[in-house]
Amino acid sequence: MSNDKGVAPAYIMLTAEQYLNPDVVRQVRRLDLRAKFIVEGFLAGLHDSPYRGFSMEFSEHRRYTPGDDPRNLDWTVWAKTDRLFVRTYQAETSLAAYLVVDTSRSMAYAGPDGAMSKREYATALAASFGYLLVHQGDHVGLGLVGDGLARFLRPRGGRRQLARVLAELTRTESAGGTDLAAGLHTLARRVRRRSLMLVLSDLVDEPEQVLGAIKHLAARGHDVVVFQILDAAERNLNFSGPVILEDPETGRRVETDADGIRDAYRERLEETVATYERGVRDLGGDFVSMTTATAFDKALLKFLHERKRRM
């Protein structure tokens, strides 16, 4: 149930933790509101955290000098004192960040108990990153990766850019196979300015190739943070009894007993996750593995941590 703005009626009553719960976020239909919803919930929980200064926090007033952005004029002070002051903020550096979202068909997957599909989760998370970036005066760009680099937006600041990014994220459907490595290689070739690459993918691909592409990005001076997003059903093989497992991308089938292979499956999956994590960290990047049931703050904190490191 949602109102005209696409917000659940319970919106007002939610606690900060609930803002970050995918089950709750799912009820917000519009992506921009969803991002706002997540970020505001996240910021509400940051009061005592070391990341407090990352939000658009007012620092001090100083006298206006020609050349200052008139948008920063504090009209309340002017009304009271008849003098022009501008607001200054703690974070005034401009960061260029790319939201690299995997749009392959495998990302459309939602397990039986999944609150949202991997793609929905990645989109909400990317939108939240974009929201945070734009509202801190940073520049945000977009790279949608399927078989290759399907869509590319150079980083810019401002709400209009955020709207463009969100529109692209909303518009592009999950389809086709995965060639994340090819997309990242293309991105590495096209982006010359040192940027923060926020890669959101399930990484259902060959680790060697993907890590090779990340190495390419790192070699170009980009900071890479990889958010691996899996469904809980993928993570734990939450099925029981005899099943025919079918890959939605390739149509490949395996008939097996889910209970019988669960341990071996988890072992193999975790091994691959560990390979990614080790590989990305060795390249100076960061790696976060999560499921669609993970609260959004985990990824947002990682993002803020990475941004602080770059400041």
Partner 1 sequence: MIFTDATILAALAALAVPLVIHLLGRRRARVVPLPTVRFAEGAHIASRGRRWLKSAALLAARLAVVALLVLTLAGPYLAPGEHTPGRTGEDAPLAAPPAVHSPGGKHDRATAQAGEPLRVLIVDAAGPETGRLRSADLVAATFAYDTVEKIARTTAAQAGREALAAADVIFWVGPQAPQDTGTLTQYLARGGAVVWVPGDAPQPPDAVLAAALGVRASAAQDVADGITIDPGGYTSDLVAAFEGGTGGDLGAPVFRRRLTFADAPAALAFRDGRAAAVEGRVEKGRTLALAAGPGPAWGDLAGRAEFVVLMHSLAEAVGPSREHVYSAPGEHAGGRTRDGAPAAAAQVPTTNFAPWLALALVVMLAAESVLAARGASRAVSARS
Widest distance between CA atoms in the chain: 77
- Shortest approach of partner 1 to residue 79 CB, angstroms? 58
Q: Which is nearer to partner 1, 77 or 261 (CB)?
A: 261
- Shortest approach of partner 1 to residue 115 CB, angstroms? 16
Among 236, 275, 298, 301, binds partner 1 (CB under 8 A): 236
Decide if 218 contacts 224 (C-beta within 8 A): yes
Q: Which is nearer to partner 1, 66 or 241 (CB)?
A: 241
Q: Which is nearer to partner 1, 74 or 249 (CB)?
A: 249
- Shortest approach of partner 1 to residue 240 CB, angstroms? 4
- Shortest approach of partner 1 to residue 242 CB, angstroms? 4
Q: Which is nearer to partner 1, 158 or 242 (CB)?
A: 242
Contact status: 23 vs partner 1 (CB under 8 A):
no
Contact status: 233 vs partner 1 (CB under 8 A):
yes
Among 234, 286, 297, 306, binds partner 1 (CB under 8 A): 234
Q: Within 10 A of 193 (CB to CB), how many other CB atoms are there? A: 12
Span from 68-76, 215-223, 240-248, 282-290 in contact with partner 1 (CB under 8 A):
240-248
Q: Which is nearer to partner 1, 41 or 114 (CB)?
A: 114
Span from 25-33, 79-87, 135-143, 245-253 in contact with partner 1 (CB under 8 A):
245-253
Q: Which is nearer to partner 1, 219 or 264 (CB)?
A: 264
Contact status: 175 vs partner 1 (CB under 8 A):
no
Contact status: 246 vs partner 1 (CB under 8 A):
yes
Q: How many residues bind partner 1 (CB under 8 A)?
A: 40
Question: Which amino acid belongs to residue 253?
Answer: R
For residues 264 and 285, what is the distance between their CA atoms, to the nearest angstrom?
Answer: 29
Contact status: 106 vs partner 1 (CB under 8 A):
yes
For residues 180 and 143, what is the distance between their CA atoms, to the nearest angstrom?
Answer: 11
Among 49, 269, 275, 301, binds partner 1 (CB under 8 A): 269
**CA proximity to 19, closest of 50, 40, 48:** 40
Q: Using CB under 8 A, list all residues that contact partner 1.
A: 106, 109, 202, 204, 230, 233-234, 236-250, 252-265, 267-269, 272
